[in-house]
Amino acid sequence: MNPPLKVQRSILQHLGLPLDTLVQTKPVSGGCIHHGVRLLAGEKSYFLKWNCGSLASVFPSEVDGLSRIAQKGVIKTPGVIALGTPEELEGCGYLLLEWISASPSPTLLSFRKLGEQLALHHLKTDSVFFGLDIDNYIGSTPQKNSPTANWVEFFRTQRLQFQFELALKNHLLTETQRKRLQKLMDHLEKWLPATPKPSLLHGDLWIENVLFDIEGTPILIDPAIYYGDREADLAFTELFHGFPADFYRAYQSVFPLEPEYQERKVLYNLYHLLNHLNIFGESYGAAVDRILIQYVG
């Protein structure tokens, strides 16, 4: 699928190329929210994603996330080439990034490098609050980030409560699930620390949001950043698997996790499972149930 002509014209203007420059596209795998292609223009390749629907306005927050991760100076993110907004393009938005020639089979050494870099990234904090000064998105769902001094309160209101209310609106919770989830939210202090060190989290760290270039350098994409307990990032890497044991050993060698992480990680992943319930429907209800039963019976 080719991008609309108004998107192509905007890109060529950003690149300083004549408007009659030939633009070619090649399909890429992955992605279920936006259209995405490899775009060739002026003898260079780029990655382009665009949206002319209800999510056309999400790209500025993605640029913000990529930029803040890169500013920490530890983990690489793709360079931002151009950004188009629906205000400029009559309802369409796009993001043009540098093209990454990704390794099809990253080595264990590359995963160890990722683990070490993620730990160093989490260690570099410049925040005294949890959240962020702007809201953004987790997948296609708005993510509220109102800054809060207490981590438990932030996770209750900005993470679980928001998804809880959305699931009620979508009629996706049974009465039993509703009661269990409310009980869990009322007693989060039993399991979560009030003031862990705030780390800048990627926020959506599953294996599909990690690339390795042909030299094995880790590159993070599609962030949903906020300041939070770094355990939340690690927990999500475990939910859908894909990260080898070497990744976790490397992380632990730099920034060891507390033993209580093994209990807390399940609770942190409840946020993502509720989000998947709201996006994809009742197929995630059983996974939500298992966590609720584990914590509140």
pLDDT at 241 over 80: yes
The set of residues, in sequence order, having a beta carbon less than 8 Å from that of 55 and lying 6+ positions away, is: 33, 34, 93, 137, 140
Q: What is the pTM of this model?
A: 0.96
Q: Rounded mean pLDDT of the chain?
A: 96
The CATH H-level (homologous superfamily) assignment of domain 108-296 is: Aminoglycoside phosphotransferase (APH), C-terminal lobe (3.90.1200.10)
| Residue ranges in the chain assigned as alpha helix (H) | 5-15, 59-71, 108-123, 151-154, 162-169, 175-186, 231-239, 245-254, 261-280, 285-296
Dist CA 80 CA 97 (whole Å): 5
Average pLDDT of 184-213?
Answer: 97
Dist CA 50 CA 10 (whole Å): 12
Which sequence spans correspond to the domains of the chain?
Answer: 5-98, 108-296
pLDDT at 93 over 80: yes
For 114-159, how does the pLDDT look when each residue is reduced to its tens digit (9 = 90+)? 999 999 999 998 899 999 999 999 999 999 999 999 999 999 999 9
Catalytically annotated residue among 64, 126, 204, 213: 204
Tell me, what's the pLDDT at 199? 98
Residue 191 — very low, low, confident or very high, per pLDDT cuts 50/70/90?
A: very high
Which residue from 80, 19, 73 is spatially nearest to 49, judged by alpha carbons?
80
Average pLDDT of 83-90?
Answer: 96
Q: Which class is domain 5-98?
A: alpha beta
Mark whether 126 is an active-site residue.
Answer: no
Q: Which amino acid is at 42?
A: G
Tally Cβ neighbours within 10 Å of residue 271: 21
Tell me, what's the pLDDT at 209? 97
